[in-house]
Chains A and B, each alone.
Chain A
Amino acid sequence: MAKQINVALIGNPNTGKTSVFNALTGLNQKVGNYPGITVEKKEGICKLPKGLKAHIIDLPGTYSLNASSLDESVVIELLLNQQHKDFPDVAVVVTDVENLKRNLLLYTQIKDLEIPTILAINMADRMTYKGIQLDIPYLEKELQTKIALISTRKNKGIDHLKELITNYKALSTQACLEASEIDKPYFEGLQKAFPNQLLYKLWLVITQDVNFGTLERQDIDAIQDFKTKSKADLKRLQQKETIKRYQFINNTLKKGQTIDLSSAKDLRIKLDRILTHKVFGYLIFFGILMLIFQAIYDWAELPMEFIDGAFASLSEWVKASLPSGAFTDLVAEGVIPGIGGVVIFIPQIAFLFLFISILEETGYMSRVVFLMDKIMRRFGLSGKSVVPLMSGTACAIPAIMATRNIENWKERLITILVTPFTTCAARLPVYLIIIALVIPEGTLFGLSYKALTLMLLYLIGFVTAVLSAKLLNNILNIKSKSYFVVEMPNYKLPLFKNVALTVIEKTKSFVFGAGKIILAISIVLWFLASYGPGDQFNNAEEIITIEYANQNVSEDDLQQKIAAHKLEHSFIGITGRAIEPVIKPLGYDWKIGIALISSFAAREVFVGTLATIYSVGSDDEDTIKNRMAKEKHPVLGTPLFNLASGISLLLFYAFAMQCMSTLAIVKRETNSWKWPLYQLVIMTAFAYIVALIAYQVLK
């Protein structure tokens, strides 16, 4: 086996670190989680010259080694723990040529850890455009490193970077400045007490807030004696340290970098003038939102219909070609509709992530944060809540994780609590199929009624989220400082590779993550629907034949009546009918009841469940939609899915907390069962009441 070296990519946010990662690893990457926490862990393999292989970790973006969030603490945890299996043989600090001054702060800290470090200066293609010149040999000497000037956009310098990684043993491990000069007696004493430890490491352990994760605590406890300085003193010392580092960086760049401002062109100013304008800024943002909804509804419709049809024919084909029996039935009625119920969401999820990743990549998202902050603050939220609330339209789980960069705990908690109201992708299939069934054709202002209904549902979700935020803001009594710092990155054309990889990655994790659950539930449902206890189920054929013996019923009708009778007395039918009294006032029958119950595993299971239930025992293979349209109300004989029951269902799904994974994530992020339980009970009760009113008024 070829020797493999560990490489850590470290850098500030917005330096194109992920582009460098993508350029090095291509499709040889996987995204997982750090054990025990929900921080995303990206790693990949890169082939190097001389038969070497590099295992590359893309660490979360951080401004410094002073952790203020869980994501940042991951970086420190890895860099402080030499025993860690991912401990880097070499660190690559990725910087943006236009923000070198600030980006170098982190670099000087990494150097203090005496890890071999390469400085990658990214976006080098913009240097002439910005009038920037660098004296590389001088910078390499002062910063005690090797520099790779790269441009992921133009695909330049990557080979040079690989070469530097290959020769990592030649890199200096010297720190580039003496940070301990800020308080000599203190640091000398510290070193004397722990002669075998790296001074900067000790300093980091002392100054870090200790409320994160699994950082090796023995070290901290061992130097308890040295926590003699008060918190304020330590903070002052940290400030001195930062100033000292900046002095060094300023001096270095004074000689190593020249910027000719007269030749610099700035697109930022022109674009900002429009995009953050008091009127146009909001109009443009609203326009973009409209475009996204139009895309999700209209553009995705064709591929979705195709997928729906394809799976229906596949079922039919399986039934026709395989010998009939329980196994064929399981495949045709359980497995295939189950998989179909997952695959059908791919077009919409892909569109959603496409837009979100383009907005992030271009730097536009930060402008939205800026524009929305003051408005959101009125509701107890932050401008930064916009990103979770928008990502919430994909899935509440990443959205709740995205709240981590909200500095203020109260604003963050409120964002977490209300995000599940935004319309996630899992609700979309439920909405789409019910809208298709109950909303009439027709257009208003060039938009179809169906598209308008969908938009209205998104709006309801968002408005409910914001209003409940306002309510929570008044109820919750949490004092916390209103911190808000958001970087406004340069505008960039999105890199196709980055966008494509994000879309593929997120879609894949949805299909395989949610897909497993959906498939498993589909199979379980099929079993529960195909078997039952007692005489009513086992002797269904006899019972029905006798019942209709004197009536003129065709053979086909008889078969269908037998199937229906069997389903009603199967395990699932019994369960469904047990809860029917509770949901009857909302206009649902026991079949919908089963779908509601299974939705607690994941909302999107709804469609798959109905597909499975309706296809059990029915011979004619049909699309899910047509089957649902054929369902009749057991008493009234009118279509089961009509305007009243449809709207009631839509509203129930809009408000109810029906996602176990979201509850688990909320528990993890708030570190308490209290908040997820509140969400479950309050949201679901609210949903029930609203759905009840809607059905009773409309019926």
Chain B
Amino acid sequence: MHITLADIKRGEKGIILDVSSEEIPFKLLEMGCLPGNPVELLQVAPFADPMYLNINGTHLAIRKDTAKHILIELSDG
């Protein structure tokens, strides 16, 4: 099932399928937010925003607005 990163819940993991490079900062790509890389939602701030993620081994926080532009596929575990 294809969903965006903004839809996943705390503790869920997935694989990045696509990122719309016009909508997200290039810096995020450089930090490893690229198709094929794993992602996990570690923690959310109140109102589920921003989101504290582990993307490809890098721990970072982004806003929900940005996460909407990252397409992922949920994986088990």
**Residue positions of A touching B, CB distance < 8 A:** 63-64, 66, 68, 99, 101-102, 105, 232, 235-236, 238-239, 242-243, 246, 268-269, 272-273, 276, 278, 366, 369-371, 373-374, 383, 407, 481-490
Contact = CB atoms under 8 A, between A and B. Distances in A.
Interface of B: 21-32, 34-35, 42-43, 45-47, 49-50, 52, 56-63, 65-66
Contact of A487 (B45, B50, B56, B60): B60
A566 B59 CA distance: 68
A157 to B, nearest CB: 23
A374 B42 contact: no
Q: What's the dominant secondary structure at chain A's contact region?
A: helix
Contacts of A102: 31-32, 56-58
Nearest to A370: B61
A488 B52 contact: yes
**Which 9 residue pairs across A and B have the least CB separation, nearest first?**
A488-B59, A483-B25, A484-B63, A370-B61, A64-B30, A486-B61, A373-B50, A487-B60, A102-B58
Nearest to B49: A374
Contacts of A246: 32, 34
B29 A482 contact: no
Nearest to A281: B45
A235 B19 CA distance: 13
A488 B26 CA distance: 18
14 contacts: A68-B25, A68-B27, A101-B32, A101-B57, A239-B21, A242-B29, A369-B61, A374-B46, A374-B50, A383-B61, A482-B66, A483-B66, A484-B62, A487-B58
Nearest to B57: A101
A422 B49 CA distance: 26
A383 B47 CA distance: 14
A34 B47 CA distance: 42
Contacts of B52: 272, 276, 370, 488
Nearest to A106: B30
Contacts of B59: 268, 487-490
Contact of B43 (A276, A374, A482, A486): A276
Contacts of B56: 101-102
A461 B62 CA distance: 29
A235 B60 contact: no
B43 A63 contact: no
Contact of A484 (B29, B32, B35, B50): B50
Contacts of B21: 235-236, 239
B51 to A, nearest CB: 9
Given A373-B50, A374-B50, A272 B29 contact: no
Contacts of B29: 239, 242
A108 B25 CA distance: 21
Contacts of A99: 57-58
Interface centre among A64, A236, A278, A484, by most B CB within 10 Å? A484
A207 B45 CA distance: 35
Contacts of B34: 239, 242-243, 246
A101 B56 CA distance: 9
A155 B56 CA distance: 30
Q: Which of B24, B29, B59, B65 has the most CB of A within 10 A?
A: B59
Given A239-B29, A486-B62, 20 more contacts: A64-B27, A64-B30, A66-B27, A99-B57, A235-B21, A235-B26, A239-B26, A242-B30, A242-B34, A269-B42, A276-B52, A366-B61, A373-B61, A483-B25, A484-B50, A484-B61, A485-B31, A485-B61, A485-B62, A486-B60
B61 to A, nearest CB: 5
A301 to B, nearest CB: 37
A195 to B, nearest CB: 30
Contacts of B65: 482
Nearest to B21: A239
A340 to B, nearest CB: 46
Contact of B50 (A239, A383, A490): A383
Contacts of A68: 25-27
B70 to A, nearest CB: 12
A260 to B, nearest CB: 15
A485 B28 contact: yes
A105 B66 contact: no
Contacts of A66: 26-27, 30
A105 B58 contact: no
A482 B42 CA distance: 22
A74 B42 CA distance: 34
Contacts of B58: 99, 101-102, 487
B9 to A, nearest CB: 15
Nearest to A63: B30
B22 A232 contact: yes
A666 to B, nearest CB: 25
Contacts of B30: 63-64, 66, 105, 242
Contacts of B47: 374
A485 B60 contact: yes
Contacts of A273: 43
Contacts of B27: 63-64, 66, 68, 407, 485
A463 B56 CA distance: 39
A238 B27 CA distance: 11
A367 to B, nearest CB: 9
A497 to B, nearest CB: 25
Contacts of B32: 101-102, 246
A487 B66 contact: no
A239 B45 CA distance: 30
A23 B34 CA distance: 35
Contacts of B66: 482-485
B7 to A, nearest CB: 18
Nearest to A12: B31
